[in-house]
């Protein structure tokens, strides 16, 4: 057995891993740089589900499979929902889609993650082709815009050591503390900042007009749109100074610039417009199609790869899923009771389902309410393959050790296909299929074939090859008596996996004591949390990390205007003593 595999987690970095003497370490060369984050360093410490159970009673894996078959066979096909999350990002996770779609069950669409931003990118550029890590490495200036690299993409850090760093984030993150400039912007204001940056760039004659004439010829109209904003009132509103705008423009002038965006900017109803306005600033600077320049967001990890699995089915959104419309809900690699927005709604809706099946690694809110619990095999115990949404490497993930515990997604699907007379190929066939989309690089690594290292060299992928600027935008108003909820990623957890946070972080000046229990309330619900101080926050924000139990009691299950995405930071919150 090979002992080289890759981390399966939903993470930009997609590290390559060596398994030796029950220990995991990061490959020294290439993008992994010889280190892993705490999730994989402590991977073996987290207790996984070992034994399947039905209605609380322990059963064997064979009994669990027969039960699953019975449950699936007992209802109309469209009364069965397959709800798959991103607990593992490896490509064989999707083999279950093949069974459920072929069977006639309902699958999900929509996004709990990056969908709003992606929609904005596609509206502007016609596609979402990402600036890969290897190009960021060549830039002079990196703008971290709503991305927290020390927590969510630490393998980017070795690449940016000597570069000029600008950070736009309402929190003084670790990268903000060492940056050349930190704009501690008011949350949900990035649209205005991006528009103002484009406007002032144009005023000072800094636009790349040669590029614009060729690839974004509507730029004068866009400049007109940027003029509809009142400068002073807007700067006051978003808490940015003219000096900071000037400083950003000075730092990026005639430089190779990478704008590295995260999901932080787009957890709002107008998330698509926000991302599109940031893209527009990059266009005004002429950052596309050039060495060491561009915008890096969450790319499409399956770009240039065709799925071998059938996934044609009716779909319902995973943002506001009405679980109660189904008799059986099969939940795989997800913890919807914690991670979907508006948890109180989710709880009520899922409570009406006759059969909840949970297929995962860890106990959590969802396994707790499940009727049938089926343990999955961890990535060390099954064969898989993966790609990344931040770089173009494809990593093989052969099984590195045998285990009796759980069942792989492939074996579960093969069993169901056999029982319900649905065609399925051998596991190796699918892995080979994915592998066939890769080519070998000089350093021996596999790269997804046809992915462009420098996308948009010959223009954008819109009908006329030109960038499509935003033509209008909706002004947003905040409620000054309430706090912005910032709900980002924590170092200790990967969403609801591993060590989950338990506190609310607030500025010490807000009048609450440290360790005091307070109630946090939005229009959707409330929860009680222990206070921790964090003076890296603005005084108009509170921070509750993703994965904190109950955080999504506060969040709305509305969709973003574009991109069918959850909007975790739309609702503002109130704080109260307990």
Ligand X SMILES: Nc1nc2c(c(=O)[nH]1)N[C@H]1C(S)=C(S)[C@@H](COP(=O)(O)OP(=O)(O)OC[C@H]3O[C@@H](n4cnc5c(=O)[nH]c(N)nc54)[C@H](O)[C@@H]3O)O[C@H]1N2
CA dist., res. 314 & res. 499, Å (int): 36
Q: In the bound complex, what is the minimum distance in angstroms from residue 10's beta carbon to ligand SF4?
A: 8
Neighbouring C-alpha atoms within 13 Å toward the C-beta of 227? 8
Q: In the bound complex, what is the minimum distance in angstroms from residue 37's beta carbon to ligand SF4?
A: 3
Q: Which is nearer to ligand SF4, 15 or 193 (CB)?
A: 15
388 interacts with ligand X by CB under 6 A: no
CB atoms within 10 A of CB 416: 22
Binding mask 500-539 for ligand X (x = CB under 6 A): ----------------------------------------
Q: In the bound complex, what is the minimum distance in angstroms from residue 340's beta carbon to ligand X?
A: 7
Query: How much of the chain is in helix, strand and coil states, percent to nearest 5?
Result: 30, 20, 45
The answer to whether 431 touches 84, Cβ cutoff 8 Å, is no
Interacting stretch for Mo ion, rule CB under 5 A, among 107-115, 273-281, 485-493, 535-543? 107-115
Q: Name which of ligand X, ligand SF4, Mo ion, none residue 15 binds, using a CB cut-off of 5 to 8 Å depending on partner kind.
A: ligand SF4
155 interacts with ligand X by CB under 6 A: no
> Segment 448-507, which members bind ligand X (CB under 6 A)?
486-491, 493-497
Specify burial of residue 444 (Cβ count, 10 A radius: 0-12, 13-18, 19+).
Answer: exposed
Q: In the bound complex, what is the minimum distance in angstroms from residue 71's beta carbon to ligand X?
A: 17
CA dist., res. 98 & res. 376, Å (int): 17
Q: How far is residue 515 from each of residues 116, 130, 459, measured CA to CA in Å?
A: 36, 42, 55
Q: In the bound complex, what is the minimum distance in angstroms from residue 546's beta carbon to Mo ion?
A: 8
Q: In the bound complex, what is the minimum distance in angstroms from residue 202's beta carbon to ligand SF4?
A: 39
Q: Name which of ligand X, Mo ion, ligand SF4, none residue 560 binds, using a CB cut-off of 5 to 8 Å depending on partner kind.
A: none
Q: In the bound complex, what is the minimum distance in angstroms from residue 15's beta carbon to ligand SF4?
A: 3
Q: Which residues pair with residue 168 across a beta bridge? A: 145, 183
265 interacts with ligand X by CB under 6 A: yes
Interacting stretch for ligand X, rule CB under 6 A, among 71-79, 109-117, 252-260, 278-286? 109-117
Q: Name which of ligand SF4, Mo ion, ligand X, none residue 292 binds, using a CB cut-off of 5 to 8 Å depending on partner kind.
A: none
Interacting stretch for Mo ion, rule CB under 5 A, among 55-63, 113-121, 365-373, 384-392? 113-121
Detail the DSSP E strand segments found in 138-276: 141-145, 164-168, 181-183, 257-261
Q: In the bound complex, what is the minimum distance in angstroms from residue 205's beta carbon to ligand X?
A: 27
The alpha-helical segments, DSSP class H, found in 51-143 are 61-73, 95-103, 115-125, 133-136
Which of 52, 132, 206, 262 lies at the binding interface for ligand X (CB under 6 A)? 262
Q: Which is nearer to ligand SF4, 155 or 377 (CB)?
A: 155
Nearest in space to 274 (alpha carbons), one of 140, 88, 470, 446: 470
Detail the DSSP E strand segments found in 438-536: 438-440, 446-448, 483-486, 493-494, 497-498, 503-506, 517-521, 526-533
Tokens at residue 355, please?
């059969």
Which of 360, 525, 550, 563 lies at the binding interface for ligand X (CB under 6 A)? 360
185 interacts with Mo ion by CB under 5 A: no
Specify burial of residue 556 (Cβ count, 10 A radius: 0-12, 13-18, 19+).
Answer: buried
The residue of the chain with the least Cβ separation from Mo ion equals 113
Chain centroid to Cα 373, Å, comes to 26
**What letter would DSSP give residue 323?**
G
Chain centroid to Cα 198, Å, comes to 27
116 interacts with Mo ion by CB under 5 A: no
171 interacts with ligand X by CB under 6 A: yes
State the residues that interact with ligand SF4 by CB under 6 A.
7, 9, 11, 13-15, 36-37, 39-40, 154
Q: Which is nearer to Mo ion, 89 or 434 (CB)?
A: 89
CB atoms within 10 A of CB 208: 20
568 interacts with ligand X by CB under 6 A: yes
Interacting stretch for Mo ion, rule CB under 5 A, among 98-106, 111-119, 235-243, 568-576? 111-119
Q: Which residues pair with residue 26 across a beta bridge? A: 17
The answer to whether 221 touches 202, Cβ cutoff 8 Å, is no
Nearest in space to 550 (alpha carbons), one of 574, 523, 576, 529: 529
CA dist., res. 80 & res. 99, Å (int): 12
556 interacts with ligand X by CB under 6 A: no
Which of 107, 185, 520, 529 lies at the binding interface for ligand X (CB under 6 A)? 185
Count, residues near ligand X per rule CB under 6 A: 58
Which of 16, 94, 190, 501 lies at the binding interface for ligand X (CB under 6 A)? 190
113 interacts with Mo ion by CB under 5 A: yes
> Segment 34-73, which members bind ligand X (CB under 6 A)?
none
Which of 88, 198, 296, 557 lies at the binding interface for ligand X (CB under 6 A)? 88
Detail the DSSP E strand segments found in 110-195: 141-145, 164-168, 181-183
Nearest in space to 74 (alpha carbons), one of 355, 487, 396, 395: 355
Q: Name which of ligand SF4, Mo ion, ligand X, none residue 36 binds, using a CB cut-off of 5 to 8 Å depending on partner kind.
A: ligand SF4
CB atoms within 10 A of CB 342: 23
7 interacts with ligand X by CB under 6 A: no
160 interacts with ligand X by CB under 6 A: no
Strand order across the beta sheet in which 446-448 lies: 384-386, 393-397, 446-448, 438-440
Residues that bind ligand X (CB under 6 A): 8, 10-11, 85-88, 112-114, 145-148, 151-152, 168-171, 173, 185, 187-188, 190, 262-265, 332-335, 339, 359-362, 364, 376, 379, 486-491, 493-497, 546, 551-552, 555, 568-569
Residues at the contact surface with Mo ion, assessed by CB under 5 A: 113
């Amino acid at each position: 057995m090979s002992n080289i595999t890759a981390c399966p987690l939903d993470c930009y970095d997609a590290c390559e891993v060596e398994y030796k003497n029950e220990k995991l370490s990061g490959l020294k060369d290439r993008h992994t740089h010889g280190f892993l984050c705490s999730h994989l360093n402590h991977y073996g410490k987290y207790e996984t589900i070992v034994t399947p159970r039905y209605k609380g009673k322990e059963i064997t894996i064979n009994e669990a499979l027969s039960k699953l078959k019975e449950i699936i066979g007992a209802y109309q096909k469209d009364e069965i929902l397959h709800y798959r999350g991103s607990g593992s990002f490896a490509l064989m996770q999707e083999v279950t889609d093949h069974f459920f779609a072929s069977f006639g069950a309902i699958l999900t669409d929509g996004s709990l993650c990056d969908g709003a931003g992606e929609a904005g990118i596609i509206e502007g550029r016609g596609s979402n082709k990402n600036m890969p890590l290897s190009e960021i490495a060549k830039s002079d200036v990196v703008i971290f815009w709503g991305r927290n690299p020390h927590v969510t993409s630490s393998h980017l850090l070795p690449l940016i050591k000597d570069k000029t760093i600008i950070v736009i984030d309402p929190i003084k993150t670790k990268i903000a503390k060492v940056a050349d400039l930190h704009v501690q912007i008011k949350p949900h204001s990035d649209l205005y900042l991006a528009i103002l940056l484009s406007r002032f760039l144009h005023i000072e004659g800094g636009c790349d007009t040669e590029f614009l004439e060729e690839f974004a010829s509507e730029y004068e109209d866009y400049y007109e749109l940027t003029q509809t904003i009142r400068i002073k009132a807007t700067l006051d509103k978003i808490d940015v100074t003219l000096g900071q705008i000037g400083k950003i423009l000075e730092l990026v002038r005639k430089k190779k610039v990478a704008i590295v965006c995260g999901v932080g900017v787009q957890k709002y109803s107008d998330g698509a417009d926000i991302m599109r306005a940031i893209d527009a600033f990059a266009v005004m600077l002429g950052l596309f199609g050039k060495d060491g320049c561009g915008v890096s967001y969450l790319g499409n990890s399956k770009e240039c790869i065709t799925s071998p699995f059938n996934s044609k089915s009716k779909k319902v959104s995973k943002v506001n899923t009405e679980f109660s419309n189904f008799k059986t809900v099969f939940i795989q690699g997800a913890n919807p009771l914690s991670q979907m927005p508006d948890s109180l709604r989710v709880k009520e809706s899922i409570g009406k389902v006759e059969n909840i099946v949970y297929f995962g690694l860890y106990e959590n809110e969802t396994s707790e309410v499940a009727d049938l619990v089926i343990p999955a095999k961890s990535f060390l115990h099954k064969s898989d393959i993966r790609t990344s949404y931040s770089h173009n490497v494809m990593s093989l993930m052969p099984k590195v050790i045998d285990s009796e515990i759980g069942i792989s997604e492939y074996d579960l699907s093969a069993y169901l296909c056999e029982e319900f007379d649905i065609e399925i190929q051998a596991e190796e066939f699918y892995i080979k299929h994915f592998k066939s989309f890769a080519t070998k690089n000089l350093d021996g690594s596999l790269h997804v074939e046809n992915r462009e290292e420098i996308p948009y060299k010959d223009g954008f992928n819109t009908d006329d090859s030109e960038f499509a600027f935003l033509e209008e935008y909706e002004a947003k108003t905040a409620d000054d008596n309430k706090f912005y909820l910032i709900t980002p990623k924590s170092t200790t957890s990967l969403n609801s996996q591993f060590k989950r946070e338990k506190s609310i972080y607030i500025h010490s000046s807000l009048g609450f004591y440290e360790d005091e229990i307070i109630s946090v309330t939005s229009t959707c619900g409330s929860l009680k949390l222990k206070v921790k101080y964090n003076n890296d926050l603005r005084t108009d924000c509170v921070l509750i990390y993703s994965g904190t139990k109950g955080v999504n009691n506060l969040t709305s299950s509305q969709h973003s205007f574009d991109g069918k995405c959850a909007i975790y930071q739309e609702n503002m919150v109130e704080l109260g003593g307990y």
